Structure 1
Amino acid sequence: MDTHHHWITTPITADLLRGALDLEHTAHGVLPHRLPARARAQCTDGQLAMAESQPSGVRLAFRTRATVIELDALPTKRVYVGAPPRPDGVYDLLVDGRLAGRASVPGGNTLTIDMTTGTFESRPGPVGTLRFTGLPDGLHDRVKDVEIWLPHNETTELVALRTDAPIEPAPDRGRKVWLHHGSSISHGSDAASPTTTWPALAAALAGVELINLGLGGGALLDPFTARALRDTPAGLISLKIGINLVNADLMRLRAFTPAVHGFLDTIREGHPATPLLVVSPILCPIHEDTPGPSAPDFTTLGTGQLRFRAAGDPAERANGKLTLGVIRDELDRIVKQRAAEDPNLHYLDGRDLYGEADSAELPLPDELHPDAATHRRIGERFAKLAFRANGPFMANGPITAPLAG
């Protein structure tokens, strides 16, 4: 810490955070969660615990005249046995809505994962410090809006926030809240930074406030997730359903259909007339017609890019096994059936976001997840399709901010 500044330390409280549904007090500071405590208590799955604690879409938001900001944080960094080291998580600094800095926090805990055995080992590490300097002081010392977007793929405990001028929580600008749920693709997968995941890009283009419940490996129609969506205030809701159900080989068509209905029923208990968009999977060639589960291709583990393969048998579709094609057809049918009594329910084919032509130009590097360029393409297309003049998110009137681009 630079002692030449007159530092003001501000407690990190819920009114300084956006995008989190819960804030856990820890031995070091506070840990943002994207699922509430009751939901977390109903599932002990380690993958879900890791995913929901990775703060995709979560950001500190405040107003200040500060020109220097320091944030002490304790990240948990993943190490995969036999694979090259992963890059540190990225923090994006926005000043008055524009990117003004990008940095990482050194140190932190490590979670070593052996994918060949399915085992995990945790080791504690030191707190690190993120520092942004040279922030514009604005015309005539104007107060500015500052956001620090936390790493979308790195569990992050927030320890201390210091500035060289007082801060106050960012005011409500009256923008609609967009609540989104999906898989690791919505979570951010291989996006370059937290503001360049496809949901963050779409939210920025549309001028809405994002709450991202994209959960890597966790979009499984869990009832506790539906209740979290039901109980979260929002003006717009979208659900991207399908790929994780195939990845995990979790259910057959007989279970899938009533599970989707139940998921939608629960959300409608809290949001009876909110525009609700159901999005089917983007194109994923290995699972278009071949069921799951998805299996790692361990022969590629040491090359720097783990790849996946479809381990199911296409013949098993006759017994109700799910493929992406089956899921798209059924989601389309379910939405059409329900929309007869629910005019605010809509459907979007995920291949309109990323389809065959996109796959030829920008193939999925590991066969499952889009890269940074593809995140940008998906985000731009979603913004145009969902927020266009007659789109599903404009049916109840225009959003506060004009759609950019």
Structure 2
Amino acid sequence: MLRKSLIMMALSAAFTMNVSAVQIEVPKWQPPVPGADGSIPANAYENYSHINENAQKEAEAFRVEVQSLEEEPKADNYKIFKAKPDIVKPYKLAEFSQSTVILLHEGKNNIRLSVPNISLRGDTVKSKSSEGPLFVVRGFTSILMVGPPHGKEFSKHMHNEGVYTYPGLENASWKIFKGKTHVMYTEFTPSKTKTTYGITYLGGGDVKDPYQDKFAEVVMSNYIIPSIEPLSGLDNYSHVKHWDNFGYRIPKKAKLVSEAMEDNKYEVRTYEDVGVKIRVLRFRIDPNIVDKSLAKKQIFTFLNKYGDLETPTQYATVWNNGLPGFLIDRYKPNGESYLRHFTKDSEYYYSYRIDYDESKSLYKHKQLRDMVEYASFDNAESLRKETQWRMSDHHKKKLAANSMFNPWYMEWIRILTQ
């Protein structure tokens, strides 16, 4: 197992290597952007994997706990852990190394960005500017807010501010509030557009946190800002298909080769392109069964089915216009690779899977990933009126009843939406 862990770490390092570094420039006499680190690759956000020493210790402790069970486990997942001990630690590490992707493609919005944090819940709140909704994602010790410019109340308590330039962004500025809690705000207009966005990120920077131990300004400057890009490039090689309420993208040259019902349960559409096979699948939600779109459920299902521990795999909650799905990205440069996005509306689960070989395909890995992340629902506004929890009912009730978890979060939303 140690050998496999070392192989995974080496492959992951190779996966993220890039000679191009983050280069945030500032005009003369302007203060430097807090946290900016030119040694971090500019594409580090694409393949972020957060596994620190504390995460390793917790994952090892979990492995030991599972293997020390003397009686036959009652839970199905523990039965599989006992039968397949090699997947136990990777499963736990996958929990810690999740990232979050935000896509806004409603009205005049046309933007994608990512943040290296787990997602526990998401909320859509009204913007005081009336320029559209604000989307908020909550982690264990982090909050990310994306939408129209916001945070006027926050500006009254800023510690410092400045402007910067970064490829693809215009009129870019930053503000930072430094106290016990690190909070950073950036505002910008993507090039060749007239739409201005604001992003607020609050992060704890606790070195003991197995999920995220980087301060807000480090995350904002080296992962969020470099990840900001328009979604308009998708139109160059893909188009949207509709399946009742659901919208998804496929390559323009892909052909529909079959529509079928499998196991009397799954409706499946299959598309093919050079070096690419796509399966779009849906089946009805059973309210009596735990939400299949949750991260833990998806990670467990993937590792149990494939168990390919020597290939670096990325896990991300993808928020499309305020509605969550879960992405698994197992990428082998110039080899057989796998992408899967899993989401739901009020009636169906939707699974979008791509099997491909980049050496044979017309598309690069990032093009296919950007495409598979895209998902839309005609009734998105109605669906997102409720809080989107990303955990089972048991854990959700514990956090919802926590005297600190919700009040702290809601107070920051109140401040930021002023």
- TM-score tier (shorter): under 0.3
TM-score (norm 2): 0.24
TM-score (norm 1): 0.24
Greater fraction of residues in strand? 2
